[in-house]
Amino acid sequence: MIRERGFILREGGIYYLWYTGYNPKHGKVRHLGLATSTDGIHWRRDPRNPIYKKRWVEDMYVLKHDGTYYMFAEGLHDIAHQLVSKDRVHWRDVGDLDIRRTNGQPISRGPYGTPTVLIEGDTWYLFYERNDAGVWLAKSHDHRTWTNVQDAPVLKPGPEKYDRYGIAMNQVVKYNGRYYGYYHGTAYKDWSLWSTNVCVSDDKIHWQKYPANPIVGENKSSGILVPDGKRFRLYTMHPEVRLYLPKN
């Protein structure tokens, strides 16, 4: 089975998809898998899967910076941690993310998951959720210790029904000077179904939700954009990988 957000990077004409796989018959641990594709439609699982087995890896975000691949993912109990790699396949865990309040004190105990990262200059920005009750923003200069930009969420559930009971940021894309946040939300107290939605910001702190949300309906969540050289593609990841192309 495939679980929560996977992530896709396209390099040298190849699409690389990292995803979380598990088999309930063999235990609860979520392992990291890799698949590749030349067209982003037909995929081949890596024969070495799972490519990382030392620790629970789920709901990952992957980026490349200065020749190194960085993966930010949820671990056990939705605690975010970071892994690094030089070849996309062999990963080394560098520990849980250290997130601090604006006064420098650690955030309160409890889950902090769905880590989403954006780099601007020498500053790394981290969007994360707590119990899917809101999205917070923190920043760092060493991508190890993160300090909240503010101690209140920058994005909250509701008031509309489609994301009233939970939200989490999947990806933030800067395009033509504005920030576009792709997030999943749920209209159900039991979190049984999620949709993919978009919001926009000029400063990463104040967000306006698209009035026609959701952009992709229920049970098609954890959406991310992937440039294919000509346009952006939208992939949703949970509970299965789906591809959406622009209408125009």
> In DSSP terms, which residues pair with 197 in a beta bridge?
183
Question: pLDDT at position 27, please?
Answer: 77
Question: pLDDT at position 239, please?
Answer: 82
Tell me what the pLDDT averaged over the chain comes to.
96
pLDDT > 80? residue 3 = no
Burial state string for 69-81 with b = 16 or more CB within 10 A and e = fewer than 16:
bbbbbbbeebbbb
pLDDT > 70? residue 203 = yes
> In DSSP terms, which residues pair with 184 in a beta bridge?
168, 196
User: What's the CA gap between 199 and 230, in Å, rounded?
Assistant: 23
Question: pLDDT at position 78, please?
Answer: 95
Average pLDDT in the 135-148 region? 97
Query: Sheet holding 44-45: strands in order across?
Result: 2-11, 14-21, 31-37, 44-45
Question: pLDDT at position 70, please?
Answer: 98
The enclosing H or E element of 109 equals none
Question: pLDDT at position 86, please?
Answer: 98
Tens digits of residue pLDDT in 212-240: 999 998 889 999 999 999 999 999 998 88
3-state secondary structure of 26: helix
Single-letter code of the amino acid located at 132: D
pLDDT > 90? residue 2 = no
Query: Sheet holding 58-65: strands in order across?
Result: 58-65, 68-74, 80-85, 92-96
Average pLDDT in the 157-165 region? 98
Question: pLDDT at position 1, please?
Answer: 60
Question: pLDDT at position 26, please?
Answer: 75
Count of CB atoms within 10 A of residue 12's CB? Answer: 5
Question: pLDDT at position 23, please?
Answer: 78
DSSP class of 133: S
pLDDT band at 88 (very low <50, low <70, confident <90, very high): very high
All structural domains of the chain: 2-244 (2.115.10.20)
pTM metric for this prediction: 0.96
